[in-house]
A and B are shown apart, each in its own frame.
Chain A
Amino acid sequence: MSAGRPLPYGDPAHQAAHQFLVEEAALLDAADYAGWLGLLCEDIRYLMPVRVTTARGAGFDSLAGMAHFDENMYALRKRVERLATDHAWTEDPPSRTRHFVSNVRTFPAGGAGAAGGVGGAELRVESSLLLFRSRGDTREADLVSAGRTDTLRPAGDGYRLARREIVVDESVLRTQNLAIFL
């Protein structure tokens, strides 16, 4: 799946990427979506394919031409704007969410030989995500497990998210909607 070796965990670029993901998760759990948008590049592509069960030899395990999310900045802004209205019933009362981010691995996106270190090159960052989502008082909580592959682009004061692909681990989602971000 990933080419090359990840940067050592002590590498400042890896540490910056890891911190980026943890800080991002804190914004999402706090429902600070305006703050979250500030972490994204204007040309972001935010993609969550639909996984399917296929034979081992099939050569594919997600749908072609259909995703759960396939968003640009306009679509993400509209989603955030909507959640900020007084009429986004599905998140009012809001879900209690916890984004657990782990298994973070950072790769220089510039290919072989690209140096580590903060600044300069784009980074490819892989992580595991477990979203816990609870609604109401007694409903069974939802869990969404996914792997993510991100492209982080250096910006003046750190990194911005240029691309995210969320590879969900279920074919049939067991959460009532994706009125949340992963």
Chain B
Amino acid sequence: MVLDLAAVASRVRQGMIPAHVYNDPEIFALERDRLFARSWVFLAHESEIASPGDYVVRRLLADSFIVARDEAGVVRVMFNMCLHRGMQVCRAEMGNASHFRCPYHAWTYRNDGRLAGVPFHEEAYGGEDGFARSGQSLLPAPSMDIYNGLIFISLDPGAPPLRDYLGDFAFYLDFYTRQSAAGVELRGPQRWRVRANWKIGAENFAGDSYHTPHTHASVVDIGLFREPKASKRKEGALYMAGPGAGTTYKLPPGDLAGRLRYVGYPDEMIPAMVSSWSDAQHALVADDGFMVSAATLFPNLSFVHNWPQIDERGTVAPFISVRQWQPVSERETEVLSWFAVDAAAPERFKRGSYQAYLMCFGSSGMFEQDDVENWVSITDMAGGSMAHRLNLNSRMGLTSAGTPIKPPMAGFSGPGSARQGFGEFNQRHWLGQWIAHLETEPARPAAVDLGRAR
């Protein structure tokens, strides 16, 4: 099939999704060259590299990066390729090191990326004239920026500041990643590969409250989680803000502390939440009665906040997960799933929250298990020729004329726009950003010559 991108874009803008986009190598190549070559993409959290010398190695599609805290405590993100012959400099995925030494010819780099050692520099190169060692560094990520400890990179050296990119979504991000001045700590990630297209998970977390009552019926059946029943799920608000969108649950009546207690936060944590969040953030919970649940920050970083029962006595414990849908190919995704918890939370809370996470999400989580089954199946079906003859309906919440069947909520305390009940506004919001990237010609960045002839 020859891809007709303009036709795909026109369908997507009408809320129709050509089914083949979920398993199409031509679409995947465009995503690689036009979307992931430009967008801010999450790599790691500062808590994963807490001490000088700590590092993790993470990928952005096929590109491997070392994310390290240097001796001065500064976060550095470096392309993991030796400047000399292109070896992967660091082949471990985490650890602590003052230097990285390439196994091939022993070129050695400090943990801030600077080239520190070239064996036989004088004999082999004639010293600085033949190859100027000073001033050389592993290639830094073209752009790098941090919000609430979340480290993002962009392959576009002209990317806007991350905070500008996040825009109004930062308001919602704080519920997951700034429950106290200490911020969150991330543990993990669990990593596993699923034979599903990466977009499906991203869209699902952005706004699919409609799937919850049925896909996750089993967790209600067994009394693990009270909320996903359709009767409760449709009371939640769906919000879109900046490059992100998410779902919420409507909580029973109460004030801020009462509602935080309802989802299982202990009294010791509540004052820090109160002081970390703004009046509008308080009001979303206290006045509007909404608690954030799933969300996606475009393109492939998702969040979830649920509050299952973790023992026979019915103890409710909330957990937060940060997860990334790392594209491997048009039909395979590596899921990276972290458990996130307020760094200042009592140990007892951290234990219960971790238990809640493991039961619900991640490689063994009982919610996630059924999600992935669906996504693998969609990807399977989208790989044949009939998928080119079917445009899926993603118009939930719109009349045939394209007007919303109900207006945005008035008086919703969060920024962006919000609607109560089921709808695919958020998925269309996500797909709108996706298709805009695919329609934008890629930049052609210049390559760096390493010590060329002068």
Contacts and interface: CB of A to CB of B under 8 A. Distances in A.
Instruction: Tell me if chain B binds chain A.
Output: yes
B94 A52 contact: yes
Contacts, number: 128
A63 B187 contact: yes
B91 A50 contact: no
Interface in B150-181: none
A87 B217 contact: yes
A46 to B, nearest CB: 10
A89 B370 contact: yes
Interface in A43-69: 48, 50, 52-55, 58, 63-69
Contact of A87 (B91, B221, B355): B221
A175 B192 contact: yes
Contacts of A82: 218-219, 221-222, 224, 366
A177 to B, nearest CB: 4
Given A87-B218, A176-B373, A66 B339 contact: yes
Contacts of B414: none
Contacts of B214: 87
A171 B93 contact: yes
Interface stretch (A4-12, A70-78, A110-118): A70-78
A69 B221 CA distance: 22
Contacts of B363: 68, 173, 177-178
Contact of B215 (A52, A72, A89): A89
B222 A89 contact: no
B310 interface: yes
Nearest to B350: A65
Contact of A68 (B187, B362, B376): B362
A42 to B, nearest CB: 12
Interface string B357-397: 01100111110111011101000100000000000000000
A82 B216 CA distance: 10
A99 to B, nearest CB: 17
A172 interface: yes
A139 B377 CA distance: 10
B190 interface: yes
A75 B366 CA distance: 10
Contacts of B191: 50, 171-173
A50 B339 CA distance: 13
B99 to A, nearest CB: 12
B190 A66 contact: yes
Contacts of B338: 66
Interface string B15-52: 00000000000000000000000000000000000000
Contacts of A176: 192, 194-196, 372-373, 376
Interface string A99-129: 0000000000000000000000000000000
Nearest to B90: A55
Interface string B188-211: 111111111000000000000000
A155 interface: no
A30 interface: no
A167 to B, nearest CB: 15
B368 A177 contact: yes
A133 interface: no
Contacts of A175: 192
A75 B355 contact: yes
A102 B188 CA distance: 30
Contacts of A139: 195, 376, 380
A55 B101 CA distance: 12
B449 interface: no
Contacts of B373: 89-90, 176-177
Residue among A78, A88, A176 with max Cβ neighbours from chain B (10 Å): A176
Nearest to A181: B364
A78 B222 contact: yes
Contacts of B224: 78, 82
Interface in B193-249: 193-196, 214-215, 217-219, 221-222, 224
B221 A85 contact: yes
Contact of A81 (B93, B217, B222): B222
Nearest to B224: A78
A173 B192 contact: yes
A75 B194 contact: no
B51 to A, nearest CB: 13
Nearest to A92: B373
B61 to A, nearest CB: 15
Given A68-B362, A178-B364, 4 more contacts: A66-B188, A68-B364, A74-B312, A177-B365
Which 8 A-B residue pairings sit nearest by Cβ, starting from the closest? A173-B192, A87-B217, A178-B364, A90-B373, A87-B218, A90-B369, A66-B187, A177-B369
29 contacts: A50-B188, A50-B190, A52-B93, A53-B92, A54-B92, A54-B95, A64-B187, A65-B187, A66-B188, A66-B190, A68-B364, A78-B359, A85-B218, A85-B221, A85-B222, A86-B221, A88-B370, A89-B215, A90-B370, A90-B372, A90-B373, A172-B192, A173-B191, A173-B192, A176-B372, A177-B192, A178-B364, A178-B369, A179-B369
Interface of B: 91-95, 97, 187-196, 214-215, 217-219, 221-222, 224, 310-312, 334, 338-339, 354-355, 358-359, 362-366, 368-370, 372-374, 376, 380
Interface of A: 48, 50, 52-55, 58, 63-72, 74-75, 78-79, 81-82, 85-91, 136, 139-140, 171-179
